[in-house]
Structure 1
Amino acid sequence: MSDLNKAALVTGGTTGIGLASATALADQGYRVFVTGRSAQRLAAAVEQDPRLEAIATDVSDPAAIEALSARLKAEGVTLDVLVANAGTAETTVFGQTDVAAFDRTFDLNVRGVFFTVQTLAPLLADGASVILIGSIVSIKGMADLSVYNASKAAVRSFARSWANDLRARRIRVNTLSPGPVRTPLVQRLQGQADGSITGFEAWAAEAAPAGRIGEPQDIAAVVSFLASDAAGYVNGVELFVDGGLAQI
């Protein structure tokens, strides 16, 4: 059931999981804002789904998040759903990782998530749903990804703490942790310049009981669930959406 009086914001909402989630929430009748760092990708996202409202924001920059908050407040927006999806991943070989690579990951995946939620918290409606996009690497020690793994473990920890910090306002905070998903980020991480991730797909199909790699829509469907009243008693959890890969 849709409710045109409700609003949602999806950070990193221009491609992959973010765009699929934004579209799914728009399908539910939400007024949906999406953020991203690339004006070109923001324009492409709105062209693909004209219902979306794009706001250029670099969530690794606290000042940019403050500007985002000010804009939404000026428009009188109250957020019923906040999806902290913006993030990055890159290979970091232990013993060869420099400070710049470490900072790129933690600035976006950890600091960005923290200040996104803290800064936008005053705009959240009582009873709102905050959804942090994590990863199965929060519980997996995947080689050459230690910085990324640790950043997603921090995201999961935020959900536990914020569910407690925001309990007086009945705001639910959950982490949704995908497994392998066919997205542009995964394509870049796998080094497949032509967009083909055939080898990675074969590995995911073998590793997961579901027998296939995930699609952005698989994750978006769970975003819709966590945003809904059907998940009204789901709080502080890490929900793995991975075809069973992390559970076996």
Structure 2
Amino acid sequence: MRFSGKVVLVLGGNSGIGLAAAQAFAAEGAKVHLTGRNRATLDEAVATIPGASSYQSDIADIASTADVVRAVEAADGRIDVLFINAGVGGFAPLERITEDDWDHVHSINLKGCVFALQKAVRIMGEGGAVVVTSSIGAHGALEGNGTYSAAKAGLAMAMKVFAKELLPRKIRLNLVSPGPIDTPLLHRNPGMGPEDVARLKEMMIANIPMHRMGTAEEVAKAVLFLASADAGFITGIDMLVDGGLIELR
């Protein structure tokens, strides 16, 4: 039980990778707190995680995240593990990018994540661990992905800087970059029906060296490793969980 007695906060824990990680942390003994924007999916998530607490919160709302941290502090006094997983996608070629689209994606994927870290480390002590979800979008150029890639690349570099800044406090910070993962988000693309999603999955699988998509549970295993004492001498890395898509291209 690697996380017995540990207090874990998962930002964006109501579905997909975040939910898989929250469930895995709890299975290994953690007291889990999780956030999400949708109350219904939060309630469904908490029903699968014994002893978990949930908070309806949008990471783009910095004041809301600060409220969540205060609530965790009131309940348990500290955060031992922070998993910043909240994120949103958005595809548009250069000619069709709008200021609103750019600001929306960056407010969640970059700004919100940075300030969530700032708020949460206030109640993290020596030996704490932070894991942040980045993306292979920060490592490769895909047409139409400029807004998302810029946010994730900025996030990755900022977090490396913060990993260095947190060293004197003995808090480790690492990133995990998933590749094509079969999560509910994939099936909620606006304007895409089941046949469109199926074609998209086939296209992605054709480009993955392992010839399959990953699962949320596989990413969660990487997250738990980086958050655990097993990774005690690892900080500042960006772990690719992508079936070889980036390194073997």
Mark yes or no: TM-score above 0.5.
Answer: yes
**More deviation, 71-80/120-129:** 71-80
- Per-residue CA deviations over 1:170-194 (Å, capped at 9, x if unaligned) read 1111110000001122223384344
The reply to whether residue 36 of structure 1 matches residue 36 of structure 2 is: yes
How far 1:205 moved relative to its partner? 2.3
CA contact (8 A) 2:135 2:179 kept: yes
**Contact 1:190/1:200, CA 8 A, preserved across alignment:** no
> Are residues 232 and 203 of structure 1, via their aligned partners in 2, closer, same or farther at CA, if it must alter by over 3 Å?
same
Other-structure match for 1:245: 245
Query: What does the per-residue CA deviation read over 1:184-232, in whole Å, with 9 as the maximum and x for residues that have no partner?
Result: 2222338434497322222232211211001101100101101111111
- Corresponding residue for residue 87 of structure 2: 87
Following the alignment from structure 2 to structure 1, what is the Cα–Cα distance between the partners of residues 194 and 49? 25
Contact kept in structure 1, 2:39 and 2:56, CA below 8 Å: yes
Given the superposition, is the C-alpha separation of residues 191 and 172 from structure 1 closer, same or farther in structure 2, using an over 3 Å criterion? farther
**Matched residue type, 1:89:** G
Task: Show structure 1 runs of 5+ residues with no match.
Answer: none
Residue pairs, 1:1-248, within 5 angstroms: 1-189=1-189, 191-194=191-194, 197-247=197-247, 248=249
| 1:18-43 deviations in Å (ceiling 9; x for gaps) | 10011111111111111011111111
Say what the alpha-carbon RMSD is for the aligned residues.
1.6
Check whether the contact 2:7–2:76 (CA below 8 A) recurs between aligned residues.
Answer: no
1:111 is displaced (CA, Å) by: 0.8
Q: Distance in 2 between matches of 1:104 and 1:216?
A: 24
Q: How far is 1:121 from its partner?
A: 0.6
Measured at CA, do residues 183 and 195 of structure 1 come closer, stay the same or move farther in structure 2, by a change above 3 Å? Answer: farther
Distance 2:35 2:182 in 1: 21
Residue 97 of structure 1, CA deviation: 1.3
Return the letter of the residue paired with 2:83.
V
Letter in 2 for 1:226: L
Matched-pair identity in %? 31
Q: TM-score, normalised by structure 2?
A: 0.94
Please identify, of 113-122 and 41-50, the stretch whose mean Cα deviation from structure 2 is larger: 41-50
Distance 2:82 2:213 in 1: 26
Structure 1 residue identity aligned to 2:140: K
Aligned residues: 248
Moved over 6 A (4+): none
Q: What is the TM-score when the length of structure 1 is the normalising length?
A: 0.95
In structure 2, relative to structure 1, the CA distance for the partners of 1:222 and 1:93 (3 Å cut) is same
Deviation of the 1:2 alpha carbon: 4.3
Distance between the aligned counterparts of 1:203 and 1:245, measured in 2? 13
